[in-house]
């Protein structure tokens, strides 16, 4: 559903769309491409404060809160210029580099650590479309070409400004973004059901062998 390298039309397409896609640099789409806080944040961790979005919360195009870190009010307010807003895209910049996610409404005004932030779109764009494009084989290959480091991989926000993406008109972006979001929602639903069944099995086994 995304063009192959060197092509400007995808092989699989929703009905009604025939226009060629454009290849664009991210800086022509996103008004701001910058780093979230990258210093030491552990002194500001608290038991229950402001949720702090970190790289381990971003995987495979989605945000998970399996492991949560919270920061105090003072440190949170210092990050105000880099707070995340609904529709922003974040990318892991160290470790499992290139993994991205879109900021949902419930995480508006969240602070983040060691992530690249894409925001202030210069035009009407579907962030979920861009999010899924980062997960394609072609994008992962291009990301690999600008990743540095042997033991710990790293990518720079400045490198992402010239990163090229394939862009169709907004209506087609929206169609593709919604399609993959529905797939992710279905996977999440079945995963929860599977986890519930596993928990039930574990509980029954414990009761039967007491």
- Mean confidence (pLDDT) of the chain: 93
Average pLDDT over residues 162-186: 94
- Write down the pLDDT at residue 210: 60
State the Cα angle at 88 between 85 and 92, rounded to 5°: 115
Question: Would the pLDDT of 7 be above 90?
Answer: no
SS3 category, 68: coil
Average pLDDT over residues 110-127: 97
| Helix segments in 38-169, DSSP class H | 73-78, 127-133, 137-145, 157-160
Residues 6+ apart with CB under 8 A from 22: 8, 166, 167, 168
Tell me the percentage of the chain whose pLDDT exceeds 90: 77
Q: Binning pLDDT at 50, 70 and 90, where does residue 150 land?
A: confident
When mean pLDDT is compared across 54-68, 97-111, 124-138, 195-209, the lowest value belongs to 195-209
Locate 184 and state its tokens: 């992710």
The three-state (H, E, C) secondary structure of 90-126, written as one string? EEECECCCCCEEECCHHHCCEEEECEEEEEEECCCCC
User: pLDDT digit string (tens) for 28-42?
Assistant: 999 999 999 999 999
- Write down the pLDDT at residue 46: 96
User: pLDDT digit string (tens) for 61-93?
Assistant: 999 998 999 999 999 999 999 999 999 999 999
d(CA 135, CA 146): 16
- Write down the pLDDT at residue 195: 87
SS3 category, 2: coil
Show me where the domains of the chain are located. 22-168
Q: Which helix (H) or strand (E) holds 201?
A: helix 170-208
Question: Would the pLDDT of 120 be above 80?
Answer: yes
How crowded is residue 4: how many other Cβ atoms within 10 Å of its Cβ? 13
For domain 22-168, the CATH superfamily is: DNA methylase specificity domains (3.90.220.20)
- Write down the pLDDT at residue 116: 97
């Amino acid at each position: 559903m995304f063009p192959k390298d060197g092509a400007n039309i995808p092989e699989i397409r929703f009905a009604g769309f025939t226009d060629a896609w454009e290849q664009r640099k991210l800086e022509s789409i996103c008004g701001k491409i910058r780093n979230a806080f990258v210093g030491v944040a552990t002194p500001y961790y608290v038991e229950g404060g402001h949720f702090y979005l970190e790289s381990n919360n971003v995987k495979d195009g989605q945000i998970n809160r399996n492991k949560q870190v919270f920061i105090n009010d003072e440190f949170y307010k210092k990050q105000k210029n880099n707070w995340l807003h609904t529709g922003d895209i974040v990318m892991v910049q160290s470790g499992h580099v290139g993994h991205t996610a879109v900021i949902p409404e419930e995480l508006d005004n969240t602070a983040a650590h060691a992530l690249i932030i894409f925001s202030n779109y210069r035009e009407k764009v579907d962030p979920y479309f861009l999010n899924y494009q980062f997960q394609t084989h072609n994008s992962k290959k291009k990301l690999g070409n600008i990743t540095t480091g042997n033991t710990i991989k790293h990518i720079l926000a400045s490198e992402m400004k010239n990163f090229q993406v394939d862009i169709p008109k907004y209506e087609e972006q929206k169609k593709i973004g919604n399609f993959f979001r529905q797939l992710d929602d279905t996977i999440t639903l079945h995963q929860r059901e599977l986890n519930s069944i596993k928990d039930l099995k574990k509980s029954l086994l414990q009761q039967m062998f007491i």
